[in-house]
Amino acid sequence: MENLAIKLKALFVLCLVMVGAVGSVQAVIWGESSEVPSSAPMVHDPVMIKQGDTYYLFCTGRGITVMSSKDLKEWKKESPVFSRVPEWAVEMVPGFRGHIWAPDIIFHQGKYHLFYSCSAFGKNTSAIGHATTPTLDSSDPSFKWTDHGMILQSVPGRDSWNAIDPNIIIDDHGTPWMNFGSFWDGIKMVRLTKDMSAIENPEEWYSICRRNYRPVRDNYTEANDNSVEAPFIIRHGGYYYLLVSFDFCCRGAKSDYKIAVGRSKSVTGPYLDKEGKSLSAGGGTVILQGNQQWAGVGHCAAYRFDGKDYLIAHGYYMPEEGVSKLVLREIHWDENDWPMVSW
């Protein structure tokens, strides 16, 4: 519990540093766009998508931080997704303070769909929301984010999982799935409707990753040492690859975050590591971890841009006292189709 509380507090401080301190939740209005003259901007939980010749990056921040780039090197800060805190989140998530975590972005059925996390500190009092826009180009007259509210929530004492860190994967049959989770009982997966606006009925749920699991005290009201979070699924060849983050972020130079992988022929698993061990039973092959320059690296996403596969994440940069910065690395594949990522 102490480890998770440290993480959540650090996330809150990071968000304030990134976009400035604010007043009460209901009165928050977030900033306009400005240039960020840095090839490695300060980010947390980044995801990315390309529209036309422009890359758009979304990450944890008040209103959801947005940046754009033409070359993946120089980044311009755009206006946040939300100018005010979503009202539903204030009502449905007691203790939510307005900083929105760990988004995911995907283009589907002619719209850009953004999924995002709202949570209270140190609890699985959490919910995942959904917003859409027809374009990411803010100069386009049709540009407008529409919030559709909550997709699902976790409630202490009722749910063994934590409704944060969403990621969407569309399987070979065109069915969208949401995988999500942090600590508690690990990574879960649930089937969505075709338009991704709700959980599909009848409901279909899976547990796809868990490590060091022990029953949670007080009917799941506190986290345990199941230090896995931030799932992201990609397809390559004949497999689905589940990327997850092990251990702890948000401790600056003392962070030991690392990225692990398993793969499956089925989107719902089981996901096995290189040794054949299931990620649901503590497996996971580590593909990237800290070194002398980076204390830890994690909360990753992966994409194919212009014929190359990329992994993006945030890492804790030692030359700047462990500040959290954008990490962008090319993914290569070995002779057995396992991903390889190096510094």
Q: Could you give the residue numbers annotated as active site?
A: 45, 229
What is the rounded distance in angstroms from the CA atom of residue 125 to the CA atom of residue 93? 6
Alpha-carbon distances of 226 from 10, 182, 188, 189, rounded to whole Å: 19, 8, 13, 17
What is the full DSSP assignment across 4-55?
HHHHHHHHHHHHHHHH-----GGG------EEE--SS-B-SS-EEEEETTEE
Sort strands 111-119 and 332-333 into parallel, antiparallel or unpaired. Answer: unpaired
| Contact yes or no for 330/310 (Cβ under 8 A) | yes
Count of Cβ atoms closer than 10 Å to residue 265 Cβ = 10
Residue type, 39: S
Residues 6+ apart with CB under 8 A from 232: 167, 242, 243, 244, 300, 301, 302
Please tell me the total number of residues recorded for the chain in this structure. Answer: 343
What is the rounded distance in angstroms from the CA atom of residue 48 to the CA atom of residue 18? 18
Q: Is 280 left (phi over 0), alpha (psi -120 to 50) or beta?
A: alpha
Sort strands 332-333 and 339-340 into parallel, antiparallel or unpaired. Answer: antiparallel
What is the rounded distance in angstroms from the CA atom of residue 106 to the CA atom of residue 168? 7
